[in-house]
Chain A
Amino acid sequence: MRIKISSIELKLLAILASLALVLGISLPEANAQPKLKVGILHIGSVTDAGYNQAHAEGAQVMKKNLPNVEVISVENVPEGADAERVMENMAKQGAKLIIPASFGYLDPALKVAKKYPDVKFVHPGGYKRAPNLGTYWASTPEAFYLMGIAAGRTTKTNKMGYVVALPISFFLGNINAFHLGVQSVNPKAETRVVFTGTFLDPGKEATAANALLDQGVDVLGVIVDSPITVVQAAEKRGAYSIGYHYIGAQKFAPKGWISGIAFTWGELYTRFAMQVMDGTWKSEALLGNLASDYLTIAPFSSAVPADAVKLVNAAKQDFISGKKHVFAGPIKDNKGVERVKAGEVWPLENLGKMGWLVEGVIGQPN
């Protein structure tokens, strides 16, 4: 039997079919829409085992914690107009949270923040804010103090060395904290500092590390973008090393690793994303400390004596509870000038103004 279909039924069928098609395509898509797009910019490569990798892994952890978050990541973005362009691009793509992960991105980010008031920005290490741009960082001196305790107890020559990019106040503060920690367990020890003049130059870092080792240093620390070169140089000559930025740096020094300071931004980024999603985010200048989950002390190696580990843990608790302060006076700098009077404390919030090196540190602060 032939089924007769009239033209009206045909049109109805066509309409129904196309409706079904449209609904069929759009409904699953509505389910797959990410609830939040997060953009992150890196100044370098995310495999640098240092600064950039720490930020990138933070974003990865955030994505794992919140499956409905999509991450747009761009590497090697130069500071300045390029950074502005990349951030605008991200905002146009629908990103509602942007992480410009380099100090020099602050001004470009402020410009873009003004243009896109409904996009939230969080900047690491910045010192200016906006209604939709907040800053965050982890205060590191206390962690460096703990490293100093461990190093002071592990050294055999009582000579520590630090390879540092530039003599900016935050780095000077870290070195000072380290040395004060060393002195608390080993009053005879000295710390030598060499500045390479740049954030990343492996050739110079290797030469600087060797220069320090030539002086009898047997513990090498590092404050540059990637700890690999210095840690390897120490390992090659049988010295101990202290890592920075990235928790995985230990693999470069299986024998000489003491510990390290790492930034683990994952949970913090998760919190930022959740706040943006439920509308509770507000601009603030977040400054974490040892108690925060984004500042991590790497596991100690077996080279560190057990009593040192006990001292470290005790000091850590004292810092967290507020009983102990890193820069508690009296403190003299290495030119003999008194910088902190007895009974006073140099607050960590003023780290940006520290333009001197503590007594016992051999190096030039300016």
Chain B
Amino acid sequence: MIGSFLAGLLAGSIHAGTPLLYATLGEAVEERAGIINLGLEGVMLMGAVVGFITTVQTGSAAVGVLAAALAGGLFNMIFGFLVITRRANQLASGLALMFCGVGLSALLGASYIGSRIHGLNEIRIPFLSGLPVIGPTFFNYDILVYLVVPISVFIWWVFFRTRWGLSLRAVGENPTAAFAAGKNPHRLQYQALFIAGILGGIAGAHLSLALAKTWAEWMTAGRGFIAVALVIFSKWHPLRAIAGALLFGGAISLQLQLQARGVPVSSFLLDMLPYILSLAVLAAWGGRRRHAAPASLGRVFQGTE
């Protein structure tokens, strides 16, 4: 009884947590470079809609995911132009990007609402998914779920074990020093934004191609903002982001599972659960989060002219 509840809970949290994790990783990459992007929601929506449209047109969800990644990356380049080249305020530009993404995705997706797609298939790993309890829980997902943890590890490795990652972090901490050391802060930031856009686009694609297998306006329903919070929550660290996304996805899944089990708590209160849980964790382990942020987050290198 308890076993099946936990299994269902875990499965639900992995499903709900995957788009959150992709989005959080993307935001972490750009924030490590010193840029805060409140418009991640818009990037995710562009990924979701382009992925959906491409899948409808080509019949292949794999092509859809690639298209979504590209769309997210390119959409984030608009943000990059605004905040890096034109030096616009990052918070305001991010919000503008979000609204733009909401509207543009709604416009593009309007004639595709109600379309049927096969979506991303679940991949059953031959022996492992047959295992009694853990089989269906851990080994019965689409490819994006399987890839998200390796991608997190890869991003951790890039941040902390490669030159490029070091340069990126340097730009986020002190772009002037990085420039003096011979790096090109603007170029690095553009690169970071492109990667972040790709990850955000994939997050959106997972929603529309795997989890819900449909397109609806603003279907991210605030997940982009949750990702921005999760980045802070996980102290800008890709591996801790896994825990954060799983926790939040788990809370979403938990409140719905509790309702399905008939727990005598109001659905309104249960709906608050993910947010209360996040607040509780922050209160318990808040500590030195403020000092964990990249020192130059929110500021863009002005150049030498």
Contacts and interface: CB of A to CB of B under 8 A. Distances in A.
A193 interface: yes
Interface string A46-63: 011100010000000000
Given A48-B216, A198-B221, A232-B213, A204 B252 contact: yes
Nearest to A201: B221
Nearest to B218: A200
Contact of B214 (A217, A229, A366): A229
Nearest to B249: A207
Interface stretch (B161-169, B193-201, B260-268): B260-268
B114 A204 contact: no
Contact of A364 (B111, B220, B223, B267): B267
Given A207-B16, A207-B252, A207-B253, A192 B214 contact: no
A203 B207 contact: yes
Given A76-B106, A252-B116, A201 B260 contact: no
Contacts of A207: 12, 15-16, 211, 252-253, 256
A205 B110 CA distance: 20
Given A203-B223, A214-B260, A228 B214 contact: yes
A303 interface: no
Given A45-B217, A232-B214, A210 B113 contact: no
Given A207-B252, A207-B253, A197 B221 contact: no
Contacts of B257: 211, 214
Contacts of B208: 202
A205 B8 CA distance: 15
A200 B112 CA distance: 16
Interface string A242-267: 00000000011000000000000000
Contact of B8 (A53, A196, A214, A363): A214
B94 to A, nearest CB: 22
A206 B212 contact: yes
Contacts of A232: 213-214
B219 interface: yes
A215 interface: yes
B264 A364 contact: yes
B219 A364 contact: no
Contact of B260 (A161, A202, A229): A161
Contacts of A76: 106, 217
A139 interface: no
Main secondary structure of the interface of B (DSSP, over half): helix
A262 to B, nearest CB: 14
Nearest to B213: A232
Interface residues of A, number: 42
A13 B48 CA distance: 67
Interface in A195-237: 195-198, 200-208, 210-212, 214-215, 217, 226, 228-229, 232
B42 interface: no
A362 interface: yes
Given A203-B212, A207-B253, A364 B207 contact: no
B207 to A, nearest CB: 5
Contacts of A239: none
B259 interface: yes
Contacts of B267: 167, 194-195, 197, 363-364
A229 B113 contact: no
A182 B12 CA distance: 29
Contacts of A53: 114
Contacts of B113: 45, 47-49, 226
Interface of A: 44-45, 47-49, 53, 75-76, 161, 167, 192-198, 200-208, 210-212, 214-215, 217, 226, 228-229, 232, 251-252, 362-364, 366
CB-based closest 9 A-B pairs: A202-B212, A362-B262, A214-B8, A195-B267, A197-B271, A211-B260, A47-B113, A49-B114, A194-B259
6 contacts: A204-B221, A206-B15, A206-B213, A207-B256, A210-B11, A226-B214
